Structure 1
Amino acid sequence: MIEMIRNVYCVGRNYKLHAAELGNEVPTEPMIFMKPSHAVVPLDDAVLALPKDQGEVHYEGEIVIRIARDYEPGAVVDDLVDQMALGIDFTLRDVQSVIKKKGHPWTAAKGFKNSAPITGFIPFPGTGSVTEKDFTVLKNNEEVQRGNARDMIFSLQEIVDYIGARYGLGEGDVIFTGTPAGVGPASEGDTFALGWGEEQLGSCRIG
């Protein structure tokens, strides 16, 4: 399924507590950035190589939704999204801090190889049911992040409408929908496991 991914959209600052922990203002409209499809790798007990000479690398656990057909105005999420997964938006935080001050694009901090690992896909339960479970990130077997779609600043529908109207959405596109509070550094040897409710969907180790 990963090899069929096309565009990788990401939503920044979509949880109030995450924006606050980084000292960022809460946005008034979705903040969208992209990662190359080459950044996507499977979270299947993989050993991931991350940059070691560009400062701290931070993990950001997120719900990822997969688009099943072309977006048209008025389309609803439950008709557009067929599957979901969990992913980690790995970020070169020191690099990001510098380029933010300069007003430069985020690609250098967000788009490096292995920066968008995702679990296997599961059926999307629908917008009415996706809030029934929390998603979690365990670092070295300790919970560091817990999130729920109900806590998003911008709903899945708002995100899909915003991206679809401005940039387009089609089959095979995926959207990283934002991270809750609890982000932090990832170091060589750390393990990460992503859970949906009581089910673990994927894991990795930093090599």
Structure 2
Amino acid sequence: MVEMVRNIYCVGRNYVLHAEELGNEVPKSPMIFSKPTHALVQTNGQEIALPGNRGEVHYEAEFVIHIGRDYEPGLQVKDLVNRMALGIDFTLRDVQSELKKKGHPWLLAKGFPNSAIVTEFLTFPGLEACRSTDFSLIRNGEQVQRGNIKDMLFDLQTIIEFIAANFGLGAGDMIYTGTPAGVGPVADGDNLRLVWGEDTLGECTIRLV
């Protein structure tokens, strides 16, 4: 599935509590950024290398959707999304803070290799099933994040329509839909496990280099 990805779109500040925990203003419309495909890596229990010399690297666990057909006006989530996964949007937080001060784009803080990890993909079970299932991130056996798409500031339909109107959206695109509160730094040797309901979809060990 990773080989079939074209564009990687990400939604910033899509959970109110996450925006507040970082002292950010809650957005009035979707805040979209992207990552290069070189950032993408699928978890299979392996070690994943991240930069260890550029300040803190923060984890941000997210619900991820895969677009199965080209967007056309009027199409709904159920028509467009064919698969779902969980992912982590890794962020060089100190680098991002400096970029924000200068009013520069976030790419240096968001687009480095392995900064977009994703679990195995599941067949999209429909909106109601997703709203009734929490996702979580377990770090070294401790739950550090827990979220549900029903708590998103902008729902999947709004995100899809916004991205389609402003950037284009087609088959093979992925969307990281935002992270709930609880983000924090990773340390060398951390085990990270992404859980959908009670099921582990993927895990990895972090190696800071």
TM-score normalised by L of structure 1? 0.99
User: Aligned partners of 2:163 and 2:201: how far apart in 1?
Assistant: 26
CA drift of 1:145 comes to 0.2
What's the CA shift string for 1:110-159, capped at 9, x where partnerless? 00000001000001111122111000000001000000000000000000
Q: Which amino acid aligns with 1:176?
A: Y
Matched, 1:20 2:56: no
Matched residue, 1:72: 72
Matched residue, 1:108: 108
CA drift of 1:102 comes to 0.5
Matches within 5 A, 1:31-50: 31-50=31-50
CA drift of 1:79 comes to 0.3
Say which is worse superposed, 177-186 or 123-132, in terms of deviation: 123-132
Matched residue, 1:4: 4
Q: Which amino acid aligns with 2:57?
A: V
Matched, 1:203 2:203: yes
Matched residue, 2:192: 192
Aligned length: 207
User: Aligned partners of 2:87 and 2:178: how far apart in 1?
Assistant: 10
User: Aligned partners of 2:171 and 2:145: how far apart in 1?
Assistant: 30
CA drift of 1:74 comes to 1.3
Structure 2 unaligned blocks of 5 or more: none
Matches within 5 A, 1:108-127: 108-127=108-127
User: Aligned partners of 1:158 and 1:187: how far apart in 2?
Assistant: 35
Matches within 5 A, 1:53-202: 53-202=53-202
Q: Which amino acid aligns with 1:27?
A: P
Contact 1:73-1:165 at 8 Å conserved across structures: no
Look up the SS of the partner of 2:203 in the other structure.
strand
Percentage of matched positions with identical amino acids: 62
TM-score normalised by L of structure 2? 0.98
CA drift of 1:3 comes to 1.2
Look up the SS of the partner of 1:150 in the other structure.
helix
RMSD of aligned residue pairs (Cα, Å) = 0.5
Q: Which amino acid aligns with 1:26?
A: V
